[in-house]
Structure 1
């Protein structure tokens, strides 16, 4: 009886371990609100074949007409795999932004620099797909809408490493 319980436990544990997956990704993407390219890191953990969680960070900066915009965003999302590696996700985002006047504005010299910092919380809704290249290396693409005071779309693509 003890052997049967031990064998059943080993089989159940190995099945659970195969369904779980931890991954790390790096990505680049386009943010519509500031019309800029951003880069970041993704971490995800899949509980089973259908459900997982992910977190992502994005940093973007752009200089335009003497004004510098810097964005730093952190996401926390729940994922549901619809078909194979096509997934939908929903969650929250924390956005920290800094707008700085560099002393030049539309060709007119300004004597002082001015900095404005703000942060917001929003809601993410999106979809993505992961394509397996080799054993633990995948390409992925995601598109999400972030509902904030000024909502925006973020489209990104990158490389994902599974562990």
Structure 2
């Protein structure tokens, strides 16, 4: 019984220690290459006062005449707080692009075709986090992604600390 209580207390204390620097965010932003807005979900872990790591997934769709472009990007970034809540970030990105060409008349004349491509790249950027209430923050972030077709991604969102 003592071992069970000890293990339970150890797990609870470990969870509390881990949860101090953990956060999740939702945001919306503009991606220049696709020329559209996208939605992003983030997971953030700050393991020291200055350093942290984040991962995010962005989904964006753009329609132009008879072409529909779908982007899905996943980032893994290191974050460094420069001053107060201003941070720099840098890391890698995986980008999946799907282009769907409809035939004439929205697909009624001619065939539809779909092509996909994947790419890996690097990104660098900066952001700022502003605390609204206890565990809720507003943040703004801008980064440039270096790929074959590099693009700029600016976004605004809500960050929840756990």
* TM-score, scaled relative to structure 1: 0.85
Distance, in Å, in 2 between the alignment partners of 1:143 and 1:104 is 38
Indicate how the Cα distance of structure 1 residues 18 and 40 shifts in structure 2: closer, same or farther if over 3 A, else same. closer
Indicate how the Cα distance of structure 1 residues 84 and 33 shifts in structure 2: closer, same or farther if over 3 A, else same. same
Contact kept in structure 2, 1:59 and 1:72, CA below 8 Å: yes
Distance, in Å, in 2 between the alignment partners of 1:158 and 1:58 is 13
In the alignment, which residue of structure 1 is the partner of 2:123?
Answer: 124
Distance, in Å, in 2 between the alignment partners of 1:134 and 1:112 is 54
Structure 1 unaligned spans of 5+: 1-12
Q: Aligned residues, how many?
A: 149
Q: Deviations over 1:68-121 (max 9, x none)?
A: 00000000000000011100000000000000002238x997410011100000
RMSD of Structure 2 on Structure 1 (CA): 2.3
Runs of 4+ in 1 over 2 A off after TM superposition: 16-20, 107-110
Structure 2 unaligned spans of 5+: 1-12
Shift of 1:41: 0.2
In the alignment, which residue of structure 2 is the partner of 1:162?
Answer: 161
Distance, in Å, in 2 between the alignment partners of 1:135 and 1:108 is 52
In the alignment, which residue of structure 1 is the partner of 2:68?
Answer: 68
* TM-score, scaled relative to structure 2: 0.86
